[in-house]
Amino acid sequence: MKNIAVIGAGTMGNGIAHTFAQFGYKVSLIDISQDSLDKGLATITKNLDRMVAKDKIAESDKNNTLNNITTFTDLEKGAEYAGLVVEAATENEDIKLELFRNLDNLCPDDTILATNTSSIPITKIAAVTQRPDQVIGMHFMNPVPIMKLVEVIRGYNTSDETTNIVLELAKQLKKVPTEVNDYPGFVANRILMPMINEAVEALYNNVAGVEEIDTVMKLGMAHPMGPLQLADFIGLDVCLSILEVMYEGFKNPKYAPCPLLVNMVRAGKLGVKSGEGFYDYSESRKAEKVSAQFS
């Protein structure tokens, strides 16, 4: 289990790769885009540099971590020796199911196939493989190198052996694994996403403005980040996707996405990654803030 394959070099994927590599695992970071791999490695390097500057790790630790990561655009080459695969591709059911069909054929028989999905049923993903007992959810929180929680989600057929291996592995990463069962949204997003959706509803119904809603939740409920800012950070498209999975899974109208959220995603206002969501993250806006500080 010293060879780990991570699929997807985006925010979650590069964070997962960083964390495993920092703890001495050999990591194959796989993505169909070389540009995404380059950006992922740049992010890992920047985060490691920040840790060195804060004296959390030594320069040698940074170098060892980077040396533990090898990038691949070829799924077969990247996953062929993995004892564990952690899939962190985009939150799209069709993409994930196709990936797991391919991984089932490509990986050794004893490889555990884990998914970082935040809402798609593990049982459904496992059903497209010939090893459903070795398929499990390993839901890391963002930012992965910092956040302690890992939701470990058992599918209907996930074995005790697979679950125990993954729980122990998470502990070796100095995470706090929490075992949950396979229902839409699991625990974290089943509670978080309705709260975010209700905050969007409050904005949609003109109860209060964006900053006012976030201020109430930060100061009144001791949340480190308001729900609308958090939605921007997660990605409004991801929030919408999770809510749609939960709505489809439970057939309960309380999980129906707010029309404002739907329209913002349609308009391409996805939050931090697009430069605008409930807040403006564009370079011009950053320049305005810097100017205001010195005026």
91 is in an annotated binding site: yes
pLDDT band at 66 (very low <50, low <70, confident <90, very high): very high
State what percent of residues in the chain have pLDDT above 90. Answer: 93
Sheet of 135-140, strand order: 69-72, 26-30, 3-7, 84-87, 112-115, 135-140, 149-154, 176-181
Taking residues 100-109, report their average pLDDT: 97
- Band of the pLDDT at 1, cuts 50, 70, 90? confident
Q: Is 118 a catalytic residue?
A: yes
- To the question of whether residue 9 is assigned a binding role by annotation, the answer is yes
pTM for this model (two decimals): 0.89
Active site residue 223: no
- Note if 244 is an active site residue: no
- List helix spans (H) across the chain: 11-22, 34-53, 59-67, 75-79, 93-106, 122-126, 160-172, 188-204, 210-215, 221, 227-234, 236-250, 259-266, 283-294
According to the annotation, is 273 in a ligand binding site? yes
C-alpha distances in Å from residue 237, one per residue of 100, 164, 207, 280: 23, 33, 23, 16
Instruction: Please list, in sequence order, all residues whose beta carbon lies within 8 angstroms of the beta carbon of residue 2, skipping any fewer than 6 positions away.
Output: 24, 25, 26, 83
If you average pLDDT over residues 4-10, what whole number do you get? 97
- Per residue in 11-26, pLDDT (tens digit) is 999 999 999 999 999 9
Q: Is 92 a catalytic residue?
A: no
Count CB neighbours of 50 within 10 A: 12
Class of residue 52 by CB neighbours under 10 A (exposed 0-12, middle 13-18, buried 19+)? middle
The whole-chain average pLDDT of the chain stands at 94
Q: Has 271 been labeled as part of a binding site?
A: no
Q: Which of 151, 241, 274, 276 is catalytic?
A: 151
**Catalytic one among 68, 87, 139, 197?**
139
From 189, 197, 241, 274, active-site residue: 189
- What the chain holds in terms of domains, given with CATH numbers, is 3-181 (3.40.50.720), 187-290 (1.10.1040.50)
